[in-house]
Amino acid sequence: MSAHTSTALTSRRARTASATHTGGLWRMALQWLLLSAWPLALLWSLKPWLMVFWQTVFSLWSRPLGLSLTTRLSPDGQSIQWSAWGDAAFAPSSQQLILHVFGVAALWLISGFFSDRWTPLKTTLRALGLIHLSACLFFLWAPASFPYSISKHLQVLMDMGLGFMLAIPPMLALGWGLLKVPLSQKLIVPCLVLAYFAVMLPHQWLLHAWLLEHLSILLMPVLFLCMGALLDLWIFVTIYAWLASTVPVPPHSMRRA
């Protein structure tokens, strides 16, 4: 075989490999788009019923939990409007502020006795203590300037929760959708994950409302930063890790290991 023929054959093989690689990327992109669009379209079409369900959950639990919270659907049925009787009445008193400051100081001192193996817990507790201390100092300095009430807090949480649910299908399509699982699972699993968050989120917000009303709105920064969108993301990562662990390992991968 001449050098010219060998070069032409190599060039043809390179073009074929490049075309195959490009075609594979386009197929993956199309698959991601379709797997994202299906649950997104379903969620958006069911949004009015989702708002009714969330409003029903709040109405059902508000009285047994002793909440002053009331909810009503917006005129277009696309959102929930919260109102809490006497939002300003939940502001901390001077005695509460002093107790919370001493509590943060005690937590800081006690965590200093933790051994090195408890360093992650020590760091977490001290970080939460600093966040809570910043809230105490704010109320000591300018209590009338606090911009959020319980109803506004819940409104923000609902908007963030709905936005997070809209981000779930693209994230699952990028991870779960590319795994070697049956097409039926690729279509059904994202809907089941969305259904889980649709049930979990309103109960999470009810817990926020109960803690803020029965304890103090001093807890709002800690709840917002640690038990809001960040907690939702951790739960999503945990669910995805569990789903990925259920996918069988190909035999040839086990032989290489």
CA 147, CA 91: separation in Å to the nearest integer?
Answer: 12
pLDDT band at 6 (very low <50, low <70, confident <90, very high): low
Render pLDDT for 66-105 as a digit per residue (tens, 0 to 9): 888 888 888 887 888 887 665 555 677 788 888 889 999 9
pLDDT band at 200 (very low <50, low <70, confident <90, very high): very high
The residue with greater pLDDT, 219 or 35, is 219
**Whose CA is closest to 232, among 192, 189, 187, 202?**
202
Whether the Cβ atoms of residue 154 and residue 205 lie closer than 8 Å to each other: yes
